[in-house]
Structure 1
Amino acid sequence: MIGEGPVLLSYGAGIAHITLNRPEAGNGFSIALMRALQEAIMTVHGDARVRAVVLSGTGKIFCGGGDVKEFASKGADLPNYLRMATAWLQVCVSGLVNLEVPVITRVQGAATGGAGLGLVCCTDLVVAGRSARFMAGGTRVGMAPDAGASATLSRIVGFRRAMDLVLTNRFVDAAEALQIGLVSRVVDDEALDAEVMVLARRIAEGAPQAQSATKRLMWNGLGRGFEASLPDEAREVARLSGTADSLEGLQAVIARRAPQFTGR
C-alpha cells in the first residue's frame, strides 16, 4: 500500500488498486485529492507489472462529486479555486483515459456530481452494486458538467438522455444505468468485490499490447467518423500480428487451451 492520504495505491497479481480515501467527505474531490489521484495514475502509468486498474472509493459511496463544503468556504475566491480544481480534474480524467491498461470502476452507493459521474464516464468498464445511484448534479449547484462528461456522457447514453440527466439532475438507479449503458454490469452489493476481482483478473490475464491498442482505438473512435478509424485499426492489427502474444493466441486457439500471454 502506498500512502495513507486521500488516495491509496496498492498492487497484486498484475492489478493496481487506486482508492479514493475521503469517506468522511463522501470521497468528494478537493485539490489535495486530485493531486494525489494524479500521482497514483502517473505511478501506475508505464509500470510493466500492471495489466489492469481497479478504481474504487472507501466508505459507503464511491464519489459524491466535488467537496461542496470546501467550495462554499472559498467565498468570493471560489472562481479562482475552481479554475485550479477543474484543471486538476481534467488532468486526472485524461490520465485515466490515456492509461495503457483497462480501468475498471467499482461503484457502491452513489456516483454523483461532475467528479463522481465523470469518473464513471471516463473509465473502461464499470461494475455497480445493485444499490448504486448516479446523478449529474452540476446545474443543481449553478454549475455545468465537468470531468469531460459533456463529451463522454452523450456518447455513452445518447444525446437526448444525456441532456435529460444533466438538466434535471435526477437520480438513475443501477438497473436503469445498466439499461442505458452507463455501467457494464450490476451485481448484488455483497457480490460487488468478488465480481470486480473476477473481471480484473480476466483483464490481467489478457494480451497487454492487444488490450492497450484496443482501448486506444475505442477511445479515439469516440471523436472520429467510421472511415477515419479504419487506417488506425489496420496499423494496429498489422503491428500486433508480429508480437509473440499474437502467435501464442493463435496457437492456443488451435490447441484448444488457455493462452499464456507475456506482453511481448
Structure 2
Amino acid sequence: MTSVIDNGDVLLDVADGVAELRFDRPDSANGMTVGLLRAFYDALMACHRMPDLRALVISGNGRHFSGGGDVRDFASHGEGLPDHLREVTSWLQISVSAMIRLPAPVIVKVQGYAAGGGGFGLVCAADFVVAGESARFLPAATTVGMAPDGGTTVTLSRIVGIRQALRITLTNPRLTAKEALELGIVSEVVPDAELDSHTADLARTLAQGAPRALAATKRLLWDGVGRSVEEALPDEARTVSALSGTADAREGLAAVLERRAPLFTGR
C-alpha cells in the first residue's frame, strides 16, 4: 500500500486500484474543521488525478465516522461564526461535488455516528454506504439552530422521499443502522466485526469491474437526480452562514458543549 497523503487530519493510501481515505481526528469524533476539509478536498483531487483508480473508500479513524462540524471550533469564533462558516461550507461543498464527480465509485464506511453535513451529508453523497450494525445516523443541523448542508437538502429527499426527509431533518431522530437501511440511506448493514473486511471485499469487487462503464453509469445516475447537488450547494452555504449568526445557533452550540437541552428563542 502506498501512502499518498498524511497531513495529520486526513490519510490517503492506495493499493491495487483502491484508495482508502481516512479522517484522522478521532479525539473530536473526526469533527470537520477548515483544516480537515481542505485536506479532504486535496485528497479527493489526488484521487481525480489517478487514472488507474477503481474505487475509493472513505472512513474515519476511532469510534465514529464523523460527528459533523467541530462544535468546539465553531463556538470559539463567537460573533465571527458566519464568516467562518462561509469558509467551512465552501470547502465542504466542493468536496461533496468532487465525491460525486469522481469517476470511480465511492464507498463510505460507517462505524459509530455519522452526523451533520460532514458525516450524514457525506453518507448521502456516497455511491455505496456500508454500516456496522451499531452505527447511528443523525442530520443534527436544526438541533443547533442551523440548516442541513453537504448537499443533504437534495440528496436525502431523493433517497427517502420528501415526507421522510422532512421528518428526519426537522425532528432529528437517531436512526439505527437497520432503520437507515430500511430507508435506503445505507446500502448494507454488517456485524461490526465484519465492517472492515466486508467493505474491502466490496471495493475489490468494484475494482474488478469495467471502469469506464461504472464511471458512465455513476455519472448518468447522479445527473438524473434532477436539480444537481452543485446547484443546491451555494444556497445551502448562504443559509447555513446566515443562521450561524443567530442567537439560536449560539445557544445550540453552547447547549452541546454544556450537555444540556437548548432553549431556542427564534432570534
Taking structure 1 as the reference length, the TM-score comes to 0.84
1:219 aligned partner, one-letter code = W
1 CA distance for matches of 2:160 and 2:136? 16
Q: Find the structure with the greater CA-based Rg.
A: 1
Partner of 1:78: 81
Question: Is structure 2 residue 7 aligned with structure 1 residue 8?
Answer: no
2:183 aligned partner, one-letter code = I
Tell me the secondary structure at the aligned position of residue 6 of structure 2: coil
Question: Is structure 2 residue 165 aligned with structure 1 residue 165?
Answer: no
1:16 aligned partner, one-letter code = A
After the TM superposition, which residues 120-199 of structure 1 pair with which residues of structure 2 at under 5 Å, given as runs? 120-199=123-202
Question: Is structure 2 residue 217 aligned with structure 1 residue 214?
Answer: yes
CA RMSD of aligned residues (A): 0.8
Partner of 2:250: none
1:180 aligned partner, one-letter code = L
Structure 1 segments, 4+ long, off by >2 Å, are none
Report if the CA contact (8 A) 1:46-1:100 is conserved. no
2 CA distance for matches of 1:10 and 1:137? 31
**CA deviation after TM superposition for structure 1 residue 4, in Å:** 3.9
After the TM superposition, which residues 23-102 of structure 1 pair with which residues of structure 2 at under 5 Å, given as runs? 23-102=26-105
Tell me the secondary structure at the aligned position of residue 36 of structure 2: helix
Structure 2 regions of 5+ residues with no counterpart? 228-267
Partner of 1:244: none
2 CA distance for matches of 1:79 and 1:19? 28
Structure 1 regions of 5+ residues with no counterpart? 225-264
2 CA distance for matches of 1:195 and 1:13? 17
1 CA distance for matches of 2:179 and 2:109? 17
1 CA distance for matches of 2:86 and 2:38? 14
Taking structure 2 as the reference length, the TM-score comes to 0.83
2 CA distance for matches of 1:27 and 1:38? 15
Identity across the alignment (%): 52
Report if the CA contact (8 A) 2:7-2:39 is conserved. no
2:31 aligned partner, one-letter code = G
2 CA distance for matches of 1:121 and 1:15? 21
